[in-house]
Amino acid sequence: KQEVTQIPAALSVPEGENLVLNCSFTDSAIYNLQWFRQDPGKGLTSLLLIQSSQREQTSGRLNASLDKSSGRSTLYIAASQPGDSATYLCAVKNQAGTALIFGKGTTLSVSS
C-alpha cells in the first residue's frame, strides 16, 4: 500500500530565505506526483504536477523535483514571503485515473 511521508511537519523561516520541503513515497511505481497548497480551513490549490517521466517542474519561485527510483520529491521555494505561509501537501497517483494519495503536509510559517 502506497504511503506518503512529508518532512518536516512544520517549518518556520524568516522572509527571504530559500527552503526545501521533502516528500517520500514507498512505492516508486507512480503515475504522477503533485504538490498542493492548503490555507487554514480552506480547500486545495494545485502548485505543480510532475509526470513519472519528468525530473522537475517549475512555476515562478517554486521548483519541484522527482526522483522516482528513490521514491522522493522536493519542493523548493525561493525567496520566501509571508504570503507563502500555508500547509504544503504532497500527493501521488499510483495509476492513471485513480485517486491521489496524500502526505500529512508541511506547515510553513514565513515571518516578516
Residues engaged in binding another protein (CB under 8 A) = 4, 31-32, 41-44, 46, 49, 89, 91, 93, 96-105
Cα angle 98, 71, 57; round to 5: 75
Other Cβ atoms within 10 Å of 13 Cβ, number: 16
Nearer to another protein by C-beta: 60 or 112?
60
CB of 79: closest distance to another protein in angstroms?
Answer: 27
CB nearer to another protein: pick between 68 and 93: 93
Q: Are 108 and 11 in contact (CB under 8 A)?
A: yes
Task: Report the residue number, 9 or 20, with the smaller CB distance to another protein.
Answer: 9
